[in-house]
Structure 1
Amino acid sequence: MRIALIRQRYARSGGAERYLAQLLAALAGTGHGVHLFASRWTDPPPGVILHRVPILPGPAFLRVLSFAWVAHRMTRRGGFDLIHSFDRTIRPDIYRAGDGCHRAWLDRRRMVEASPLRALDRLNPLHQSLLWLERHLFRGGCRRIIANSRMVREEILRYYGTPETAIQVIYTGVDLGRFHPPRSRAVRAALREERGAGPDDRVVLFAGSGFERKGLRFLLEAVGRMRGIRHLRVWVLGKGNVRRARSQAVRLGIADRVLFAGPVADPEGWMAAADLFVLPTIYDPFSNACLEAMACGLPVITTAANGVAEVMEEWRTGSVIADPRDVQGLADRMEAYLHPAQREERAADARAAAEAFPAEGHLKQMLAVYEAVVRGAGA
């Protein structure tokens, strides 16, 4: 098949970005003609044909709308067997709702932040543009919608009345060869030493770009309440408002415990070196980083507004808190999991849960959807 894949910005850092890189490489490796349409890219896999999509400069909403329109025109002229979009665009064959349901995110943020100003969000041209494109896609603008969690599927059904038969849930796969527990205690000790952690340190890892949505402030507040744990460290990976987060850490008196590492090329090394993965997110369709952490043998604490909670088992692979604002509940669970015996007991359970979602299985599911959509188009 000649397959066109659409993503406005392609990079290798970040869970969603690693997912797309993995899929592109796998598709190219199976002999398909793989074309990536993007406005910007960094280090694409070999075998992928690149097409630069020009977009209008200026405000974010203009970039979003111009990319959607130009990508549509370019892909429709290309004679492809299948067009698969990973961004909100116009009339692709398949849309993967990896960013979730924007209406659900806006409602969730308004509920959590409880600010009167949040009621004005929908007047923002960017939100209006995203909602317009979302409405187009979920009300007949594509042949098949792929949701990465049941949570997202239910949101689309509830907000847009999309026919149930149009939406399929396919959980993200994880590269189990890349993300795995440390091979030995010596390897783990070396990974920790490289990152400045000693044998007595208890390390909490946070990974996610967009600190506001991912709930970093709730994690820092919870750490501020954990005075009883000595040698506690927090490693923060990803992009976000570091100045604001660092100021919060200073106010809480924990600045010396928090390391802001930024985007990293080797998240698996950080995961293998940590003791616990925490993502108290306000909204996450399905956090790839959580699944990768589980594959590395880390117990995970996240929220019910994260689709990955569907594949977790309470107190075996980690814990799910109902509300990210429950910082005391978050602190209590973190204290429980940071006990060395707890970590060792839960490592095997976390790894076993992740092994149910290998990248190879995900690719087979995706190819089956591709073939079904192509057959349907030719019928």
Structure 2
Amino acid sequence: MKIAIVRQKYTPYGGAERFVAQALDALRAQGVTVDIIARAWQGDANGIACDPFYLGRTWRDWSFARCVQKIIAADRYDLVQSHERIPGCHIFRAGDGVHATWLELSTKPWRLSPWHRYTLAAEAAMFRHPDLRAVICNSKMVANDIARRFPETTGKLHVIYNGVDLAHFHPGLRAEYRQVTRAKLGAGETAPVILYVGSGYERKGVATLIEALAQMNTRSAEAWIVGRDKHEARYRRLALRFGVAERVRFLGAQSDVRPFYAAADLFCLPTIYDPLPNAALEALACGLPVVTTENCGAAELIRPGENGAVCAARDPVALAAALDALLAGDADVLRAVARESVAALTPAAMTAQWLDLYQRCLAGAPRAGQAGRL
């Protein structure tokens, strides 16, 4: 079987890109020939350059899509699986969710932007394209949303959760890294630490986390922000305005986040919209309770009060209450249930589901996947 996976650009910090790299290794281990089609790619993947000239992100995405469509038309691959919104791909992995939904949940006038208009049109054309055989959804939330917006996808939607490397992310990291990481940052051994991991602070709710920290009863709690955002200074000012600047640490992007999972007590992602963030899975695998929102696919894995909590987005009062309650809970029980909740989400299990889907796509029209059981 010869597969091409399309992702426009890889950077070592992005969760989606790390997931693609993990998937490539897992598929090759099963004897599948996999090429990556990209503008740029880091690592040892078999790369097919698709890097036409562009100016601006609208032209960037359009020209890349045209380049990929030419490769598809050349019939070099049994299946082309795109992680970008490109009409004509055989399989689409909706790892970024539904763009139309993100625009509706955002408070900004995005529709004035040519890029957002292009992305909406490309998304609709892709879901309605006759060559689309299957859509891999990384959460039921995403599958239900696509089915509601695009009835044409009925029978093509398959919920396959991301795999998480349970040997790389595990509770034993706590003993290895917790004390040394806290000492390095000058944090006390007993200070409650709430960890956030991710880039794109606006969409992922960093402002809500900062405001919630100011409203918590646990006045010694700290928020550690791991990730990058070009508007970081704005969030530093927000922390200062809420009087918690000394309790919010902006730690930048990290090539290895495991020491921070180990040093933290809770993981918090109060996102406005997130299909299924890998960071949440990694946190659970490390035994960290996760607090997230109803607009996050990770909420499907949360058993409130047992391994985390689920709040409404943009609700700092509810978020503060949830964080306080979990910090007052039985830490050992919370960590054990957190780990157990992702025990079945291994890369091997994910790969087996992908391979089964590939075989069904190649055998003919795919039968209804998990879409009928959401």
For the criterion TM > 0.5, the same-fold answer is yes
CA distance in 1, matches of 2:227, 2:343: 25
Among 313, 317, 335, the alignment partner of 2:307 is 317
Q: 2:331 maps to which residue?
A: 343
Partner residue of 2:172 out of 176, 179, 182: 182
Aligned ranges 1:32-111 → 2 under 5 Å: 32-42=32-42, 44=43, 46=44, 48-77=45-74, 79-109=76-106
Q: Distance in 2 between matches of 1:163 and 1:28?
A: 29
Q: TM-score, normalising length from structure 2?
A: 0.92
1:303 to 265, 284, 293: 293
- Aligned partner of 1:209 in structure 2 is 199
What is the number of residues matched between the two proteins? Answer: 364
Letter in 2 for 1:106: L
Aligned equivalent of 2:218, options 222, 229, 234? 229
Aligned counterpart, 2:370: none
Matched, 1:360 2:357: no
C-alpha separation between the residues in 2 aligned to 1:37 and 1:281?
A: 30
Deviation of 1:230 (Å): 4.1
What letter is aligned with 1:27?
L
**Distance apart, 1:157 and its partner CA:** 1.4
Please state if 1:138 is matched with 2:127.
Answer: yes
Structure 1 match to 2:266: 276
In structure 2, the CA distance between the partners of 1:82 and 1:186, relative to structure 1 (3 Å rule), is closer
Deviation at 1:233, TM superposition (A): 1.6
Q: 5 Å matches for 1:113-152?
A: 113=107, 118=108, 120-141=109-130, 142-152=132-142
Residues of 2 paired with 1:245 and 1:372: CA distance?
48
TM-score by length of 1: 0.91
Residues 340-366 of structure 1 show CA distances to partners (whole Å, capped at 9, x for unaligned) of x53222000000001121111011101
Alignment match of 1:254 (pick from 217, 224, 244): 244
In the alignment, the residues of structure 1 paired with residue 173 and residue 59 of structure 2 have an alpha-carbon distance, to the nearest angstrom, of: 48
> Per chain length, whose mean CA-contact separation is higher, i.e. which structure has more relative contact order (CA < 8 Å, sep 6+)?
2
Equivalent of residue 318 in structure 2, options 305, 329, 344: 329
CA offsets 1:92-147 (integer angstroms, 9 cap, x no match): 110001111111111122xxx3xxxx4x4223211111111111121135111111
User: Which residue number corresponds to residue 290 of structure 1?
Assistant: 280
Q: After TM superposition, give the deviation of residue 187 of structure 1 in Å.
A: 4.5
Flag the 1:338–1:55 CA change in 2: closer, same or farther, 3 A: farther
- The answer (yes or no) to whether the contact 2:181–2:259 under 8 Å persists in 1 is yes
Conserved 8 A contact 2:173-2:258 = no
Rounded Cα–Cα distance in structure 2 between residues aligned with 1:195 and 1:348 = 27
Q: Which has the higher helix share?
A: 1
Report if aligned partners of 2:191, 2:222 keep a CA contact under 8 Å in 1. yes
Task: Describe the superposition over 1:267-316 as per-residue Cα deviations: whole angstroms up to 9, x where unpaired.
Answer: 12211211000011001111221111011100011000001111211111
Percentage identity across aligned positions? Answer: 39
